[in-house]
């Protein structure tokens, strides 16, 4: 009367139950609905292209007003602000982002070139952090494609903050108030990604609507008559060819001495003009090669800087050579446009540039030059 497989209770139940379970689990896994990405997130631009996508195009003007309807998660912005001012992230614990980017005076340091940890001059003038979210690339030579990349490089650069991710993260992870802030903003996740994202989000939130934006939106009284004339001169002289877009620059590279540089192609400086076309032999122009875009500074090519708040960010140019707005207008006209501008026009253009000075929402940006 001894049974076989159907009789032996313990030998029958186990494999059968296992097989059934495998079958059911397998069916569930294989026939699960396709995963859908969550598109229903609150809209807050995360990078340059999304920032630009928020711009409302008004009219046919080459300059567009700053968007006014962007919302960022306030916890992340608040956290980013703290991190922006946090000196403990640097190696000597004395330097923060805000050391060089003074929000109250135009988002830069007011020096010709930046000063490193050892109080030695560095290579370039400090760009402003205001409206930097509308710059298509970061740094003078555009080697960083996002604010996050730029922030990480600055943190790790031994001449700047000189820190490391390990020490920065360990400081943040051991700090109670940061733990709470990260808990609110990122569910307690303290990592490279969240730290850089918080700071970048704070930077993207630094948008300074100006009287000129109001003018572009139709408020004819927002700027002075001089400024309006200055805007016309700005367009007529050709400044607008490079300083355009929502950030009035910041979306294009240009070589220094753009016009005159082409003379050499024709050998006009003492040589015979050949008429040879650039790149006609099949080789491409070497001036915008990848190396320039991604690595090291080029002595010739720079990202066209934004002109927003330009009145606050003296001294000017990549090396801070010129400290006066009128001078720099003249200088750029002669270097880039190969012409001189009449003094009254310079004055009007200056008025126009002054109308670009904006202020952070809820904050009064200092009006005086440093």
Partner 1 sequence: MFSKFRLVSFSLKRSELSYWILLGLLLCMLTFSFFKAWNSYLAQEQSALQTLYELGVTQSQINLELLTVYRTPHNYDSLAMETAYLHQQLMLLEQKVEYLPLPSALMQLFQQIQKEAEQFQADIEEFKATNSILVNSWQYLPSRIKETVTELSAYPDLQSQLTRLSQGLFAYKVAPANRDTVDEREQIVSLINQIYQNLGSISLSIANREAIEALLDHGIIIVHLQHYLGRQVLQFQQSPLKNISQNTEQELQQMLFEQLYWITRYRILFACTALGLLGYGGYLYRLRYRNQRLRAIALDLESKVNKRTRQLNQALVDVKRSQAFLVQSEKMSSLGELAAGISHEINNPTSFILGNLIHAKEYVTTLFRVIQLYQAECPSPSPKLLETIESEDLDFIQNDFYQLLNSMDNGANRISKIVQSLRIFSRLDESGSKIVDIHEGLESTLMLLQHRLCGHPARPKIEIYREYGDLDQIECHSELLNQVFINLLNNSIDALDNYWEKKQGLSLKVNGLSSSALPVPGSASVQPLQNSHIVDKEPCTLAKAKASVSCLISEKPDIEMVSETDWQPRIWIKTQHPQPGWVQIRIRDNGIGISEDIHTKVFDPFFTTKHVGEGTGLGLSTSYQIVVDQHKGELVLKSAEGQGCLFIISIPCQKML
CA distance 140 to 252: 11
CA distance 233 to 239: 9
User: Among 24, 120, 193, 342, which residue interacts with partner 1 (rule: CB under 8 A)?
Assistant: 24
Q: Beta-carbon neighbour count of residue 223 at 10 Å?
A: 23
Tokens 């003094």 belong to residue:
343
Number of residues that bind partner 1 (CB under 8 A): 75
CA distance 311 to 323: 10
Q: Output 51 or 100, the one with its CB closest to partner 1.
A: 51
- Cβ at position 247, least distance to partner 1 in Å: 8
Tell how far CA 139 is from the center of its chain: 8
User: Among 119, 221, 272, 368, which residue interacts with partner 1 (rule: CB under 8 A)?
Assistant: 272
Q: Beta-carbon neighbour count of residue 27 at 10 Å?
A: 10
Q: Output 263 or 359, the one with its CB closest to partner 1.
A: 263
User: Among 238, 330, 360, 366, which residue interacts with partner 1 (rule: CB under 8 A)?
Assistant: 238
Binding to partner 1 (CB under 8 A): which residues in 279-298? 279-280, 284-285, 287-290, 292-293
Binding to partner 1 (CB under 8 A): which residues in 95-134? none
Yes or no: say if 265 and 287 are a contact pair by the CB < 8 Å rule: no
- Binding map of partner 1 across residues 128-167, x = CB under 8 A, - = no contact: --------x--------x----------------------
CA distance 196 to 1: 75
- Cβ at position 15, least distance to partner 1 in Å: 7
CA distance 337 to 258: 7
User: Among 27, 58, 120, 193, which residue interacts with partner 1 (rule: CB under 8 A)?
Assistant: 27
User: Among 14, 16, 120, 225, which residue interacts with partner 1 (rule: CB under 8 A)?
Assistant: 16
- Listed ranges 157-165, 206-214, 225-233, 266-274: which one lies at the site for partner 1 (CB under 8 A): 266-274
Residue 362 touching partner 1 (CB under 8 A)? no
CA distance 163 to 148: 16
Residue 275 touching partner 1 (CB under 8 A)? yes
CA distance 266 to 186: 58
- Please identify which of the residues 50, 160, 276, 291 carries the catalytic annotation: 160
- Cβ at position 353, least distance to partner 1 in Å: 18
Binding to partner 1 (CB under 8 A): which residues in 292-351? 292-293, 301, 337-339
Q: Are strands 301-303 and 253-255 parallel, antiparallel or unpaired?
A: antiparallel
Residue 14 touching partner 1 (CB under 8 A)? no
Yes or no: say if 156 and 195 are a contact pair by the CB < 8 Å rule: no
**Catalytic residue at 166?**
no
- Listed ranges 168-176, 203-211, 218-226, 264-272: which one lies at the site for partner 1 (CB under 8 A): 264-272
Closest alpha carbon to 85 in 71, 72, 103: 103
How far apart, in Å, are the Cα atoms of 187 and each of 25, 40, 84, 203? 31, 19, 20, 21
- Cβ at position 342, least distance to partner 1 in Å: 12
Q: Pull the structure tokens for residue 103.
A: 């929000």
Residue 258 touching partner 1 (CB under 8 A)? yes
Binding to partner 1 (CB under 8 A): which residues in 36-95? 47-49, 52-53, 55, 62-64
How far apart, in Å, are the Cα atoms of 27 and each of 20, 35, 133? 11, 16, 48
- Cβ at position 242, least distance to partner 1 in Å: 5
Active-site positions read 160
């Amino acid at each position: 009367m001894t049974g076989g497989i159907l009789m032996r209770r313990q030998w029958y139940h186990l494999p059968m139950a296992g097989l059934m379970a495998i079958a059911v689990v397998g069916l569930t896994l294989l026939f699960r609905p396709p995963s859908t990405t969550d598109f229903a997130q609150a809209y807050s631009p995360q990078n340059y292209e999304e920032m630009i996508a928020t711009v409302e195009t008004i009219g046919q003007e080459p300059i567009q007003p700053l968007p006014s309807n962007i919302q960022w998660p306030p916890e992340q912005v608040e956290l980013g602000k703290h991190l922006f001012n946090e000196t403990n992230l640097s190696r000597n614990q004395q330097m923060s982002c805000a050391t060089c980017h003074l929000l109250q005076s135009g988002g830069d340091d007011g020096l010709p070139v930046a000063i490193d940890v050892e109080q030695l001059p560095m290579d370039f003038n400090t760009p402003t952090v205001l409206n930097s979210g509308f710059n298509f690339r970061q740094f003078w030579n555009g080697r960083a494609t996002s604010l996050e990349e730029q922030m990480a490089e600055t943190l790790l650069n031994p001449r700047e903050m000189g820190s490391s991710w390990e020490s920065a993260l360990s400081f943040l992870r051991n700090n109670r108030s940061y733990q709470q802030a990260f808990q609110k903003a990122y569910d307690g996740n303290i990592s490279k990604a969240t730290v850089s994202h918080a700071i970048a989000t704070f930077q993207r939130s630094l948008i300074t609507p100006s009287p000129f934006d109001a003018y572009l939106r139709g408020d004819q009284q927002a700027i002075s008559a001089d400024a309006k004339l200055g805007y016309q001169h700005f367009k007529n002289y050709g400044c607008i060819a490079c300083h355009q877009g929502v950030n009035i620059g910041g979306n294009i590279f240009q070589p220094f001495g753009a016009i005159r540089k082409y003379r050499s192609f024709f050998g006009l400086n003492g040589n015979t003009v050949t008429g040879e076309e650039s790149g006609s032999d099949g080789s491409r122009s070497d001036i915008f090669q990848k190396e320039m875009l991604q690595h090291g500074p080029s002595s010739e090519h720079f990202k066209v800087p934004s002109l927003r708040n330009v009145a606050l960010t003296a001294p000017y140019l990549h090396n801070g050579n010129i400290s006066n707005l009128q001078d720099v207008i003249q200088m750029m006209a002669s270097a880039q446009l190969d012409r001189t501008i009449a003094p009254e026009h310079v004055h009007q253009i200056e008025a126009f540039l002054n109308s670009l000075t904006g202020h952070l929402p809820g904050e009064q940006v200092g009006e005086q030059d440093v």
